[in-house]
């Protein structure tokens, strides 16, 4: 169980780095593709990072995009 949790936090850190390095707003699809996880998993990671204040979610006419937030 601890290994699964550690892997999840590692992937969330990678998702955060992907968004920061992209230099532009990124979609859930972009993160899912680059992490090699499902769309639903990527969405969970991204919104968890939004809840922590590490990312900002912007609603567009085509869905959410994510940009780096102000780190707490």
On the question of pLDDT at 72 being above 70, the answer is no
pLDDT, tens digit, 9 for 90 and up, residues 12-67: 999 999 999 998 999 999 999 999 999 999 999 999 999 999 999 999 999 999 99
Q: Residues 1-15: what's their mean pLDDT? A: 85
Angle between the 39-51 and 2-22 helix axes, to the nearest 10 degrees? 80
Rg (CA), the chain: 12
- Among residues 46, 53, 57, 58, the alpha carbon closest in space to that of 71 is found at 53
What's the rounded Cα separation, in Å, for the pair 1 and 8? 11
- Domain covering 2-68, topology: Arc Repressor Mutant, subunit A (1.10.10)
Instruction: Say what the pLDDT of residue 71 is.
Output: 60
pLDDT on residue 59 = 97
Q: How far apart are CA 7 and CA 69, in angstroms?
A: 23
């Amino acid at each position: 169980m601890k290994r699964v949790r550690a892997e999840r936090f590692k992937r969330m850190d990678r998702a955060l780095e992907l968004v920061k390095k992209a230099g532009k707003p990124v979609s859930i699809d972009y993160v899912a593709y680059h992490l090699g996880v499902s769309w639903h998993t990527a969405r969970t990671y991204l919104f968890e990072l939004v809840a922590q204040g590490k990312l900002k979610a912007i609603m567009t006419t085509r869905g959410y995009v994510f940009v780096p937030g102000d780190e707490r």
